[in-house]
Amino acid sequence: MNEIINLPKFSPGKQGKEVLLELHVHGFFVFTNKTDERLAEPMKTENSFGKSRVRMNMNSDNLSSQLMLTNTSLSGSGYRGIGVLGFAGLQNLGNTCFMNSAVQCLVHTTQLVDYCLGDYEKDINHENSLGMNGELSLAFGELLRKLWAPGAMPVAPRMFKFKLAKFAPQFDGYKQHDSQEFLAFLLDGLHEDLNCVKCKPYIEAKDAEGRPDEEVADEHWLNHLARNASIIVDIFQGQYRSTLVCPVCKKVSVTFDPFMYLTLPLPSTTMRTMTLTVFSTDGIMLPMPFTITVPKGGRLKDLIDSLSLACSLKDDETLLVAEIYKNQIFRLLDGPSDSVALIRDDDKLVAYRLPKVSETCPLVVFSHQQLERPYGFGAMAPNWKLFGVPLIARIENLSSGSEIHYQFLKLLRPFLMPVEDVVNDYDGDETRNTVNENSKVEGIVSPLVSYCDAGPDSGEENDVHLNADFKFYLVDKPGSSEIKMNDPVPISSLTKNLDVTVHWSDKMIEKYDTCLLSSLPEVFKPLLFAKRHEESISLYKCLEGFLQEEPLGPDDMWYCPRCKKHQQAIKKLDLWRLPEILVIHLKRFSYSRFFKNKLETYVDFPIHDLNLSNYISHIDNQLSNCYQLYAVTNHYGRMGGGHYTAFIDHGHGRWYEFDDDRVFPISEDKIKSSAAYVLFYRRVREM
């Protein structure tokens, strides 16, 4: 569509006049009536080519919504190929939904439709070493024309995918990919293919040197346009101001850089529910699970602070968090700056309440083993099997085995069963909160409890019982490593941890409640059919997080020209120049060396009235800062898989879902969801 269409002017507040448009699209004539209160007259603007281009500001009724055949009804819950323009789906060639969803959003961008249905081949730059010799842009243009052909059936984008894989091998094959990463490559590739600058001039960047920001910004923008001139630059690129401040000498560096899209991080206030079991070491309280909430992007310190408050931790106590796997301590979580994102939902975590004593006192870890009875006949070697949750204690002045015996029995006291075997007619309360209610009945006292009450120096009268009931062994010690009551413990002042294995007799298995000792909940276990509370955050909050000051990371230091060394500068971004089409990428996926995660946070984004006037540093009275949503890329499911779809507005609030080759209507109230991933906005006139 290359002809200039003159539309009458409309006065503000008056209803738009109905105009009959005759559009020539891809060899077909289409007639449509148009009425829109917000329709602006054609704007004659100066673009990156240095010549005038007449650009129709279609606003809420984009071009694609006008290219429908008349008297066509849209019915049915889903359909493949209908007799209207712009409703053709894309066949899934095998995990290509990431590509299909992004392509549908682009081919329903008004300016690209206008451009690719015209004689765009003349703009192809075959000399650009950064381009694809025009192959990518030709494949995209041909795909767009097929999707806008009247009565088109679903299109198989095989040639387009072939060209894509040729120049971007990472998209070869049939693995699932990130739709936003594909979109970024495609826009950059189209720009380089269609860049009208044949020979890019070398332009040395100048320092601001106290000049006004407006002057420096225009200089940077003109330098950028001198090397980059394409339809992609015209409609998708904006400009932001980057300010760096040296924390030492306070040197300020201001630069202005172009952007193709905004990647907005989801704020770290996104919370995560976690359950941990707290074990006391005072010999009184039973283990108790606590459910807390911490930021998903938080640190271990946040988890410990929240858990300390939940379990009423005393000032003279501290928490030691550990992961339990196969009845052993798999790892200690003792790095305050470690990310809680490294903790999986199916992990089992415990927190030990320990007294704040000198860290020179060794940490004694007790692991439990019981004799596994073999099936069948014949003599077999004893098979000791781990069970239960390890217990932990710090022992001051540890020197002999009796101190280890005493401390272990003290830790076990809350797990004592009621002494019904001692008093046959005893009908006690089975809810055990303290030891005295469980183990002392009418003057009859358990020998083990008596020993615990008296302490490790109470004599030898209970030695026979203890040696028969429990046997203690030092782990990883050669030869006979049993710890006898009066034997010295082979440790030094450098010993930090002491691993002790305890062999339980059958009598002790019955005497203590080993079920309580073995029961651990997972960090998070979703209930079947339970609806989780959906967190909500405003798109404006995400934008504020993107624009706030933050220090550079240790791996991204800035070289300060005044200090003559790399410094961890403070960085601040500001929006300076907004594009005609604003693409917003919600950063749902996070990656680390060991972990991948997706944030399911519900982002409340405007559909009709995104106003960025309060977020742009440079005000241009000739341009509107208001935007209207016209397309969304959605991702459903987990990292590394899932499924992508697209929502497209065909004008007058008529939204459709493009799910590969299936296209069907969707109500506007369904557009916002926690699956929204990439948002496409077009500039509209301020109301």
493-504 tens-digit pLDDT: 677 788 899 999
Q: What is the pLDDT of residue 399?
A: 78
Q: Is residue 263 included in any domain, yes or no?
A: no
Q: Report the C-alpha gap between 97 and 187 in whole angstroms.
A: 18
Kindly report the three-state secondary structure assignment for every residue of 90-154.
ECCCCCCHHHHHHHHHHHCCHHHHHHHCCCHHHHCCCCCCCCCCCHHHHHHHHHHHHHCCCCCCC
Q: Is residue 345 included in any domain, yes or no?
A: yes
Q: What is the pLDDT of residue 200?
A: 87
pLDDT band, very low/low/confident/very high, at 491 (cuts 50, 70, 90): confident
Same domain, 178 and 287: no
Tokens of 453: 């009450």
Same domain, 154 and 292: no
Q: Is residue 139 included in any domain, yes or no?
A: yes
140 pLDDT higher than 90: yes
168 pLDDT higher than 60: yes
Same domain, 303 and 186: no
What rounded mean pLDDT belongs to the chain? 79
Between 556 and 157, where is the model more confident?
157
179-237 tens-digit pLDDT: 999 999 999 999 999 999 988 888 887 777 778 999 999 999 999 999 999 999 999 99
32-85 tens-digit pLDDT: 444 444 433 333 334 443 333 333 333 334 444 444 433 333 433 344 433 468
268 pLDDT higher than 60: no
Q: Report the C-alpha gap between 283 and 285 in whole angstroms.
A: 6
Looking at residue 10, its amino acid is F
Same domain, 283 and 134: no
Kindly state the greatest CA–CA separation across the chain.
108
For residue 389, give its domain range: 271-374+383-415+468-518
Residues 6 or more apart in contact with residue 648 via CB below 8 angstroms: 64, 104, 105, 108, 630, 631, 655, 656, 657, 658
Same domain, 281 and 404: yes
Same domain, 498 and 353: yes
Same domain, 168 and 293: no
Q: Is residue 506 included in any domain, yes or no?
A: yes
Active site residues: 97, 643
Start-to-end CA distance of the chain, whole Å, equals 29
Same domain, 482 and 357: yes
Provide, rounded to the nearest whole percent, the portion of the chain with pLDDT above 90.
47
Same domain, 493 and 405: yes
Q: What is the pLDDT of residue 479?
A: 52
Q: Is residue 486 included in any domain, yes or no?
A: yes
Q: Is residue 589 included in any domain, yes or no?
A: no
The residue among 172, 194, 216 that closes a domain is 194
Q: What is the pLDDT of residue 348?
A: 93
Mean pLDDT of the region 608-626: 90
Q: Is residue 475 included in any domain, yes or no?
A: yes
Mean pLDDT of the region 446-462: 51
As for how many domains the chain has, the answer is: 2
Is the pTM of the predicted complex or chain greater than 0.75? no
* Least confident segment among 319-328, 483-492, 575-584: 483-492
Same domain, 187 and 313: no
Same domain, 474 and 331: yes
Between 362 and 444, where is the model more confident?
362
- Dihedral angle computed from the Cα positions of residues 620, 623, 626 and 629, in that order, rounded to the nearest 10 degrees: -140
Residue pair 353/278 in contact (Cβ under 8 Å)? The answer is yes
Task: Kindly report the CATH number assigned to the domain that includes residue 370.
Answer: 3.10.20.90
Residue pair 10/37 in contact (Cβ under 8 Å)? The answer is yes
Mean pLDDT of the region 133-153: 92
303-350 tens-digit pLDDT: 999 999 999 999 989 999 999 999 999 999 988 878 887 888 889 999
Mean pLDDT of the region 447-476: 60
Radius of gyration of the chain from its Cα atoms, rounded to whole angstroms:
35
Q: Is residue 186 included in any domain, yes or no?
A: yes
Same domain, 176 and 320: no
- Dihedral angle computed from the Cα positions of residues 444, 415, 290 and 518, in that order, rounded to the nearest 10 degrees: -160
